[in-house]
Amino acid sequence: MAEQAPILVESSKGLTRVTLNRPDRRNAFDSKMIHALLETFDALGRDSSVRVIILEGSGSTFCAGMDLQWFGADRSISVTEAQRDAERLLGLFRCIDECPCPVIGRIHGSTYGGGIGLIAVCDIAVADTAATFVFSEVRLGLVPAVIAPFVIRKTGESFVRRFCLTGEPCSAATAREFGLIHDVVEPAALHDRITALAEMIMPLAPAAVRDTKALVRRLRSMSDEEKWKAAVAANVSARLSSEAREGLLAFSERRTPVWNDASKENATTITG
């Protein structure tokens, strides 16, 4: 019997769906899944034809964090092995966070530990009303260290202190209140909401969308003076681009813009 792929990737007309595919392990991370996600998001990030990525989980759970069987509860782990695994997991979160095109998280069921890190690096996250979120690390003698920078940036320190220190489940409504989740819908409406968001992004100027995401990322670590300069430079670059010429002309002519040719000039200029 062929081994089950740890993730499934399905692409069509600029929309790519990445599905965590270990439902028997509640989509928990192991080395194969981490490697597959890293390779996939790296490749998708370099493909200028990709407009939107939807990240979701198969089965009843989005992601249960680390697979404790793989994590080594029943065996000795060297410092070198622990360092390597932590760096690879950090690399995964950074890869998704820095992916040039928008990433939409489709969240259902329970999410634990590192799975919350995945949500934190999505640009948009939508959960159903039954979804719950648990920082389970302290229950296991662990620390939510690798996900902390991404979750704190997304939700603020107060949320992390409240739920990381207790290991108490957090509801979808509370997760939305603190910014981890953007939209909460009834389970039956989750698919339609995700589809609607993807359809909002798909017709937009592709290079402008990527450049916008890249600018927001660059602004994080800049001083005020650097931010002013970066904002002006990005404005000038966008205004002089072929996409802007096409977009403004289409607006004045009351027609739908055609981005395919206009985006080629800008597709290789995205940085950040």
Query: 56-101 pLDDT, tens per residue?
Result: 999 999 999 999 888 766 677 889 988 999 999 999 999 999 999 9
Average pLDDT over residues 190-217: 96
| Per-residue pLDDT at 72 | 67
151 Cβ neighbours under 8 A, 6+ residues apart:
116, 117, 120, 144, 159, 160, 180
| Per-residue pLDDT at 260 | 67
pLDDT for 100-159, tens place per residue? 999 999 999 999 999 999 999 999 999 999 999 999 999 999 999 999 999 999 999 999
> Which residue has 């000038």 as its token pair?
236
Q: Do domains 7-201 and 206-267 have the same CATH topology?
A: no
Average pLDDT over residues 10-36: 96
pLDDT higher at 192 or 245? 192
| Per-residue pLDDT at 238 | 87
| CATH code at 206-267 | 1.10.12
> Which residue has 């029943």 as its token pair?
74
CA gap 118, 130 in Å, rounded: 18
Distances (CA, A) of 229 to 17, 212, 215, 233: 36, 15, 12, 6
Give the residue extent of every domain in the chain.
Answer: 7-201, 206-267
Name the helix (H) or strand (E) containing 36.
helix 31-45
CA gap 112, 130 in Å, rounded: 14
> Which residue has 């039954």 as its token pair?
130
pLDDT for 226-270, tens place per residue? 888 888 888 888 888 999 889 888 989 999 999 964 334 333 322
Least confident of 41-50, 98-107, 192-201, 263-272: 263-272
Question: Domain 7-201 belongs to what topology?
Answer: 2-enoyl-CoA Hydratase; Chain A, domain 1 (3.90.226)
Average pLDDT over residues 28-34: 95
